[in-house]
Amino acid sequence: MKRDDQLSSVARIGALLRALASAGSNGDSTTELARNAGVPRPSAHRILSALLQEGFVDRSQRGRWYLGPELYILGTTAAARYDVSDHARRSVHRLASATAESAFFSAKRGDETVCLLREDGSFPIRSFVLYEGARFPLGVVSSGLAVLAFLPDAEVDRYLERAELSERWGSGFEERLMRERIAATRRTGFALNPGLVVEGSWGMAAAVFDVEQVPRWALTLTGIESRFRPARQAELGKLLLDEAHLLTTALAKTAIAREVVERL
């Protein structure tokens, strides 16, 4: 097999596994997974069947696919190095308790952010745009905008050139408007999504940085429009920024401690 073909196969496997992760506990059909992953259906079925033999995916009697037990085992091993959810869970809890809104923790993965944690606050009306496992391109929801805004200018330029967000997400994501939102995020420190994905569902987010000050994660609050009026945005923004700073500091200390142990 040629190297380019190998890379293509690996990319297809990754796309299918990510599509399965987004499907969550409901699983998905071969046809849906193929469409969501951008893989031809015959290729998707062939790859999924091979992954089934290795335990990376599972299949129900009704023909729906799920992530498999082997991924759980591998994930448990990887968590020792990459899992930051213990620290993040405390931040998410504090935000949900302080604001009564739904709070989230998301991570940057390539050109996307994926939601890892969710906790609903006490306010009875909620937004369900974000959920654990949900993936969105950078800049589409507030978490991805918070991360995108604090990447280097050259990286932002390359991303906007290749992403073509308006083709999938509509005119509200034209490059000019995206750059305006990026500039606003840099000014205030937090990102605002005024119902651009689902009308009436608003979100705000702040980036969380790694030890090298690269935006790797984000904390988010979401809710209905009436809960995110301008008078309250400053209050929510400050809470997000304060919590993001605390989490950035905690993760940096953990990373430094881990490096010290690995050098011993």
pLDDT tens string 212-252? 999 999 999 999 999 999 989 999 999 999 999 999 999 88
Tokens of 245: 């700073």
Mode of pairing for the β-strands spanning 215-224 and 102-109: antiparallel
Q: How far is CA 13 from CA 8, 22, 111, 160, 247, in A?
A: 9, 14, 17, 25, 33
Task: Look at residue 54 in the predicted model and tell me its pLDDT.
Answer: 92
Helices of type H across 192-229: none
Q: Which CATH architecture does the domain made up of 84-263 adopt?
A: 2-Layer Sandwich (3.30)
Give the residue from 228, 227, 208 showing the smallest Cα distance to 219: 208
Calpha distance 140→129 (Å, rounded): 11
DSSP annotation of 193 reads E
Residue owning tokens 């909620």: 126
pLDDT at residue 72, as a whole number: 75
Residues 6+ away with beta carbon under 8 Å from 175? 160, 166
Q: How is residue 28 annotated by DSSP?
A: B
Average pLDDT, rounded, for the chain:
88
What integer pLDDT is reported at residue 2 of this predicted model?
A: 45
Residue intervals in the chain for CATH 1.10.10.10: 3-74
The CATH number for 3-74, chosen from 1.10.357.10, 3.40.50.300, 1.10.10.10, 3.20.80.10, is 1.10.10.10
Residues 6+ apart with CB under 8 A from 59: 48, 52, 65, 66
DSSP state of 65: E
- The tens place of each residue's pLDDT in the chain, 264 residues long, gives 444 454 488 889 988 998 888 787 788 999 999 999 899 999 999 999 999 999 999 999 889 999 888 887 787 666 655 567 788 999 999 999 999 999 999 999 889 998 989 999 999 988 778 888 888 999 999 999 999 999 999 999 999 999 999 999 999 999 999 999 999 999 999 999 999 999 999 999 999 999 899 999 999 999 999 999 998 999 999 999 999 999 999 988 876 545 533 454
Intervals of CATH 3.30.450.40 along the chain: 84-263
Beta-sheet pairing, 135-137 with 191-194: unpaired
Task: Give the Cα separation of 49 and 55 in Å (integer).
Answer: 10
Q: Name the token pair of 247.
A: 């989490």
Task: Determine if the pTM surpasses 0.85.
Answer: no
Q: Burial, 72: exposed, middle or buried (Cβ in 10 Å; 0-12, 13-18, 19+)?
A: exposed
Q: For residue 261, what pLDDT is reported?
A: 39
| Spacing of C-alpha 86 from chain mean position | 17
Amino acid at the residue 244: A
Helical residues (DSSP H) of 83-225, grouped into ranges? 85-99, 142-149, 153-163, 165-169, 175-188
Contacts of 166 (CB under 8 A, 6+ apart): 172, 173, 174, 175
